[in-house]
Structure 1
Amino acid sequence: MLSVNFKFHIKQVYMNHIIKSLVLLTTFMFCHYLMREFWGDSWSDVLLRLDQQSYVLHTVAKYLFIYGPLILVATFLFKEHPWYDVLGLNVAGSQHYFLAAVACCIPMTLGYAFLSSELNLSLSAIITGSIYAGVFEEIIFRAALFGVLFHYCRWGFIPAALISSIIFGLGHIYQGHDVISAVMALSITAIAGTWFAWLYCECGYRIWFPMFMHIFMNAAYGIFGMSGGAAGDLEGNLFKATSIILSIVYVYMLVRKGKPRQVTFASLWHNNPKTNPNLEPTKQNTHLESNYV
């Protein structure tokens, strides 16, 4: 009798995850493709007048308008968890992740400074192109979409990352100047999205490390006017690769200090709590994890 009840409970949980996944994905598609149509030109004109064409107010308002429903639905679907955990905004260890991102991005920044003959220190460009992009794209694509599918709906890493990373890559396809460069931009940003997703998982389902990496890398790219769009060029990509490698080394160091791995072979296709006991850490484990960073 106990076995029958247990199997029924597992089936209920599985169906519940499927329903929540469908609701989340439907909401995301609605936001990503339809909410843009409701963003009126009159709102843009008002906001651009207020921020004097700097897009500082306009950009943040547009992000919140388009993706606000996704944030609300994600937190509502898993309201038994704190909203800041669902969105990856638990502040534990955030200062350590900030310092780690700075250290990882220094070689790339110095390399870009060496290669570049430009210097763009526009504050509005840094805010809109680096800070806003890093903050909102990581919360939306990594936490509210990928993170919820992988961590809470128990999808495997590969299917959850593919969905979020391909959509993330499609958002950067405009940076290509022809078919080949557009495909390269899509591929590289999709791979970058998967890397950010892995960092998000291995940093305790907190957005800080991938978010700071995203911000600093975008800032270095914009300040030194690196060409080549999302695909970049060979020399620039070599310096970018140093930051990626250093971020992987940083996660490896955390693992050596005792941090449990979240992405394993067992969780690539299905994130089952039986095969991944670290899927839903206890409060004690969450507290102790701050000792690893």
Structure 2
Amino acid sequence: MSRSLSVILITLVSFGIYFFMSQAYFSELRQWVNGFIPNLGLSHILGYLIFCLPILLGASIINEFKRCKVTLGLNRSFVKGILFPMICTLPMFIGFAFCFPVNEDLTNDELLITGVAAAFFEEFIFRGFLFGQLFRFTKLGFIPAVLLGALLFAAMHLYQSNDLTTLIGIFATTFMGAILFAWLFAEWNYNLWIPIFLHFFMNLAWMLFSVSENAFGGFYANIFRILTIALAIILTLVYKRKKQLPLIINRGTIWMKNRN
């Protein structure tokens, strides 16, 4: 079996085990942990840590346990990973402050669950592992490597509404968000802190102000979100051009790569 095919199989099996277990048993495990640690946010994070074990095992098999931090993108600049997303999300924080009231019902549990846990673990699992292993260590190009994760990532957010039009908007928004996060991850030299903190700050802006009850949002919410996305793309392209760095995602890597 070729190296590329073995990585694909290990990645899909590891992710499949994680996905099935988390969908079937996450709520029960979180409730059980919460019996020992009476804090829903911390119980949520600990639940994620337990269910991420198949992901760590898969990454360890692909590139050895001691290299997991490297292959998952956690060894890159933490400071750059914070500063770039902070700059990019300024339109959302400033725009939302003018257009929406402060969310006075925001709780610490919501900050930990929707802010910290969602940003870190979703990027760790979907971008660092599922997309990252497929794109970095196989012959798969960007589109086939990102497609499965983007579809599942979008589908996981459909619980937020029962209205068909809103559901379509939620799916489209989160699907494109998954592709954006994967693109930024690759173009910033596989620095997973970039999508983690961009995800975190975008969620934080959404939570700090009473923007919307779902990920789709309304007219003004999407205007400022589009400005943030545009700024992230433009600044990335400017940075790479200034540093004379080639784009990782190009015609030679969009579908299939000639070499790993």
Tell me, yes or no, whether TM beats 0.5. yes
What residue number does 2:245 align with?
Answer: 259
Q: What are the within-5 Å matches in structure 2 for residues 1-293 of structure 1?
A: 15-39=2-26, 41=28, 43-52=29-38, 54-79=39-64, 82-91=67-76, 93-120=77-104, 121-256=106-241, 257-273=243-259
Does the 8 Å CA contact 1:156/1:270 hold for their aligned counterparts?
yes
Structure 1 residue 187, shift from structure 2 partner = 1.7
Structure index of larger Rg: 1
Deviations 1:66-107 (A, max 9, x none): 23212221222222982111111013x321231111111111
Percent identity between the two aligned chains: 28
Which shifted more, 144-153 or 180-189? 180-189
Structure 1 residue 259, shift from structure 2 partner = 2.4
User: What amino acid is the match of 1:113?
Assistant: A
- What CA distance in whole angstroms lies between the structure 2 residues aligned with 1:46 and 1:80? 29
Structure 1 residue 45, shift from structure 2 partner = 3.6
CA distance change for structure 1 residues 169 and 102 in 2, over 3 Å: closer, same or farther? same
Does the 8 Å CA contact 1:87/1:139 hold for their aligned counterparts?
yes
Does the 8 Å CA contact 2:7/2:137 hold for their aligned counterparts?
no
- What CA distance in whole angstroms lies between the structure 2 residues aligned with 1:122 and 1:44? 18
User: What amino acid is the match of 1:69?
Assistant: P
Higher relative contact order (CA 8 A, sep 6+): 2
Structure 1 residue 220, shift from structure 2 partner = 0.6
Unaligned stretches of 5+ residues in structure 1: 1-11, 274-278, 280-293
User: What amino acid is the match of 1:20?
Assistant: V
Structure 1 residue 164, shift from structure 2 partner = 1.0
- What CA distance in whole angstroms lies between the structure 1 residues aligned with 2:98 and 2:36? 37
What is the TM-score with the length of structure 2 in the denominator? 0.91
Q: Tell me how large the CA RMSD over aligned residues is.
A: 2.0
Which shifted more, 128-137 or 170-179? 170-179
CA distance change for structure 1 residues 38 and 108 in 2, over 3 Å: closer, same or farther? closer
What is the TM-score with the length of structure 1 in the denominator? 0.82
Q: How many residues align?
A: 258
Displaced runs of 4 or more, over 6 A: none
User: What amino acid is the match of 2:14?
Assistant: T
SS in 2 for 1:245: helix
Does the 8 Å CA contact 1:151/1:271 hold for their aligned counterparts?
no
- What CA distance in whole angstroms lies between the structure 2 residues aligned with 1:77 and 1:233? 43
Does the 8 Å CA contact 2:115/2:204 hold for their aligned counterparts?
yes
Does the 8 Å CA contact 1:85/1:206 hold for their aligned counterparts?
no
User: What amino acid is the match of 2:149?
Assistant: S
Structure 1 residue 179, shift from structure 2 partner = 2.3
- What CA distance in whole angstroms lies between the structure 1 residues aligned with 2:62 and 2:170? 33
SS in 1 for 2:52: helix
